[in-house]
Chain A
Amino acid sequence: MDEMRHSTERVAEARPTATTNQETEASGQGQLRARKKPRISDMPPAPPPAPRLAEYEPIIGTFQLDELRFLAKPLVGKRAKMVNSTALGGGVAEMLNRLVPLLDELGVKTNWEVITGGNDFFDVTKAFHNALHGADITLTQQARDVFLSTTEQNRQRIKFEEEFIVIHDPQPAGLITSREGSAARWVWRCHIDLSHPNPDVWNFLRPMVESYDAAVFSSPAFAHSLGIPQALFYPCIDPLSEKNKDLDESYVQQVCDNFGIDRSRPIVTQISRFDRLKDPVGVIRASKMARKYVDCQLVLAGGGAADDPEGAVVLKEVHEAAGDDPDIIILDLPPWSALEINALQRASTIVLQKSLKEGFGLTVTEALWKGKPTIASAVGGIPTQVIDRQTGVLVNSVEGCAYQIRYLLTHPEFGAQLGRNGREHVKENFLMTTNARRWLLLFRILTGLIT
């Protein structure tokens, strides 16, 4: 084993954001025979076409696919509209990219509309977003006016002729004023945590929200007492996306080779952006504690350092905590590294998510889907996914994390059982097809088509 392969310094050199493939080939020769620089484009690739319904059959089974079709049958010919604030980037757009074609194929013709607005509008909605998470802001009359006038412009522009209108998040929430005189069912899909909203902003938005027929939340803990029915839709992953689809073993090996990861030794991985709330330094401490007893490499892979000043500071702290430890491999990846992240998760012996605070934690869902024994903090939506000692292991401290790394590395049969259960849990509850099923159910319930 070339001990230099695990050098943190040289892995940092291999950061894809700084190099093109051409540069890689030219500069890599003679420096590291065994480890090429990772082949990640410096430009985001075009998104692959959305999968067809039939492509999910090998994953969920014929009968479950039939269930989806039967569920959709009374809705065939009806139309739905999804409205959000961005077509690219972010979890909502990613989800809509897959959900819209699925509903379409199931017979519910679904349009996706994106609201437009100036910088002033998006500054206001960004402040709203933070305020709904509890930030202390003062809601000025000017902010209200900007929000309402941009909403009105979008209301004039967008036609609402469908039977189901789904408005995602607070930015377009005011479009509910378009429902007057329409028989459509309106649903507000809230993807954020509304449990402790800033009262000023919430009191401004609440009458709009309560004019919908129903609201949808990602967790009961994120919901707020409202006078309308509140459905629970867990976030989901697409098993056919680049981040989750099956990969050739040779590709997984190639990615590990490129990043200098030794697959003959245990690999413990945390995938998350460089953010203190993900506790990357705590992860390093836990791995160092565990390595007094067991051999393993730690891979910390994520992004956020290139375009976020705080991310860069955290990345620096992570490098300092790692020191010159050759078994800590730190990878700052660009946002379009889905295939590489998929490969890293698949190569891992154990996946960690030792967050201090978390939304739902889709990186946990991804790890469970890949059948990986997962150790995660009991915060946010993680306990919904990680049922302690059934689908993974929950921890509350660095020490607890260190112990569980030791335990799972020395009890692989237990880890394998957790992995099997974790995958089943995701298959049953957190896949894109389950999400489509929930939308069909909600549409049927809202229109009284329940038999």
Chain B
Amino acid sequence: MMTQESIPAAPQARTPFEFKSAAHLLFIERQRACNIDELGEGLRSCSEESIFQHTFRTLEEHHFIKEGFSNDFAQWAYIELREVGLGERLASLDVREFTSLVTLRSRIIGIVEEFASANPKARARSAVAPFYFCSSRTIVLPMHRTASNLDEFIDCLRMVSPHSLHYHFIEARLRRKLESNDFSIWLDRDLGLKREASLLNEIDIYTSTLEGVRRKIIQILENSPQHRRH
């Protein structure tokens, strides 16, 4: 049996991980939609901040929901437009497959246009309530918390807010233009934990709450050979 003293020191990262967070403020845009055609028009003319708000950001606002919530467009199609087929297709969008808002916008427009072409009678059907386009302005917050090895990283992960988790784990791909996240990139590059980095990218954010995501990340990292505090 190993004593506390005999446990080798945890490998130190080449550069520490600096935890940040993001604060967002919502602005009401001029576009609004009362039917599918107007939704299409709004999607074409709204700002990228608006696409961000109704997809990436709304996932953060509803981080406590385990299933059944994907993005605002899908929610509106289900609840207000009562178009289940459109709602299902929009809900199947996984924001993690997109590293740019331009491609995400094109994909959403494509889904709406395909549905409208296949269901011409649905095009002008009025929604119960309009879709109001909003946008999000973001301020990144340095939290002055850093981790230099895996144990410190896990300790910080237990404490950080859902906003910080979302910033590093989900929003990161837009910033980095990579299909990965800040945690995986650091774990691989600075601690050599390639397998764990890859496992983190396999976590399904649409069938978990953000707290669930946090637990899964910690679980994966606690199973790492670099984890010292069992």
Contact = CB atoms under 8 A, between A and B. Distances in A.
B194 interface: no
B105 interface: no
B119 to A, nearest CB: 23
Nearest to B26: A232
Interface stretch (A218-226, A253-261, A295-303, A319-327): A218-226
B199 interface: no
B25 A442 contact: yes
Nearest to A234: B26
Interface string A342-382: 00000000000000000000000000000000000010000
Interface stretch (A61-69, A119-127, A199-207): A61-69
Contact of B61 (A61, A429, A438, A441): A429
B170 interface: no
A229 B159 contact: no
B139 A221 contact: no
Contacts of A221: 129-130, 132
B211 to A, nearest CB: 9
B28 A223 contact: yes
A36 to B, nearest CB: 40
Given A67-B163, A221-B129, A441-B139, A229 B62 contact: no
A70 B65 contact: no
A421 B162 contact: no
B68 A232 contact: no
Contact of B161 (A63, A230, A387): A63
A83 to B, nearest CB: 22
Interface residues of A, number: 39
A444 interface: yes
Interface string B135-170: 001011111100000000000000111111000000
A383 B79 contact: yes
A407 to B, nearest CB: 17
B28 to A, nearest CB: 4
Contact of A428 (B32, B141, B162): B162
B23 interface: yes
B98 interface: no
Contact of A220 (B61, B134, B139): B134
B68 A225 contact: no
A444 B24 CA distance: 11
A313 interface: no
A256 B162 CA distance: 37
Interface in A172-227: 217, 220-221, 223, 225
A61 B30 CA distance: 36
A378 B140 CA distance: 35
A220 B132 contact: yes
B100 interface: no
A442 B137 CA distance: 9
A391 B69 CA distance: 11
Interface in A377-436: 378, 383, 387-391, 420-421, 424-425, 428-429
A71 interface: yes
Given A383-B79, A390-B65, A71 B141 contact: yes
Given A64-B161, A221-B129, A428 B65 contact: no
Contacts of B64: 420-421, 424-425, 428
A231 interface: yes
Given A63-B161, A383-B79, A70 B25 contact: no
Contacts of A61: 161
Interface in A60-96: 61-64, 66-67, 70-71
B21 interface: yes
Contacts of A156: none
Contact of B65 (A220, A387, A437): A387
A430 to B, nearest CB: 11
B21 A67 contact: yes
Contacts of A229: 27
Contacts of A232: 26-28, 134
A230 B27 contact: yes
Given A67-B141, A441-B139, A231 B25 contact: yes
Contact of A389 (B68, B139, B142, B160): B68
Contacts of B128: 378
Contacts of B75: 387
Contacts of A444: 139
Contact of B28 (A230, A390, A391): A230
Interface in B153-206: 159-164
B30 A225 contact: yes
Contacts of A230: 27-28
A445 B132 CA distance: 22
B96 interface: no
A70 B141 contact: yes
A442 B24 CA distance: 10
A413 B54 CA distance: 30
14 contacts: A63-B164, A71-B139, A230-B28, A232-B28, A383-B79, A387-B75, A390-B65, A391-B65, A421-B64, A424-B63, A425-B62, A437-B23, A445-B25, A451-B139
Interface of A: 61-64, 66-67, 70-71, 217, 220-221, 223, 225, 229-232, 378, 383, 387-391, 420-421, 424-425, 428-429, 437-438, 440-442, 444-445, 450-451
**CB-based closest 5 A-B pairs:** A220-B132, A424-B64, A441-B25, A232-B26, A230-B28
Given A220-B132, A387-B62, A390-B62, 17 more contacts: A62-B159, A67-B141, A67-B161, A220-B28, A231-B27, A378-B128, A387-B69, A389-B68, A390-B65, A424-B63, A428-B63, A428-B162, A429-B61, A441-B137, A445-B137, A450-B139, A451-B140
